[in-house]
Copies of this chain bind each other. A is one copy, B any other.
Amino acid sequence: MDIDRIYDSFARQGMMTTLQARIETVAEGAVTLSAPITPATSQQQGFGHAALTFALGDTAAGYAALSVIPEGSEVVTSEIKIHLLSPAIGDRLIARGRVVKPGRRLVVVTAEVFALRDGAEKQVALLTGTMVPVPLG
């Protein structure tokens, strides 16, 4: 596994910078990201916006997929579904992406997103999706 290409790709994502997201851990088929819940990423009630939860879950799942495919490829999300289980209340969101089934043409992934509040984690979302490897530019 080439960890560098995950860090390099992540660093090029303007959206991840805007959301103040960071990579927590990278393992074969499993990537964890996190980001703070701030007024700049809130929804109308002041909780974390679904798009913040989505951004982290989708990206964690995408890099989990990238960690299992051959060099010289990127991955893009083909489709992904998110279940929002609880309001995103707390200090940070933590997203754990995981490969369910690797493949040459598509990779099935899942992600779970948790809100960290007063040191305790509560699950706020469950995602399942399809990542597609594409040759690098």
Contact = CB atoms under 8 A, between A and B. Distances in A.
A81 interface: yes
Interface in A99-124: 100-101, 105-106, 108, 110
Which residue among A15, A59, A100, A126 has the maximum number of chain B CB atoms within 10 Å of its CB? A15
Interface string A71-102: 00010111111111111000000000000110
Copies of this chain present in the complex amount to 4
Contact of A44 (B9, B84, B105): B9
A54 B106 CA distance: 21
Interface of A: 9-10, 12-15, 17-19, 38-46, 49-52, 54-55, 58-59, 74, 76-87, 100-101, 105-106, 108, 110, 126, 128, 130, 132, 137
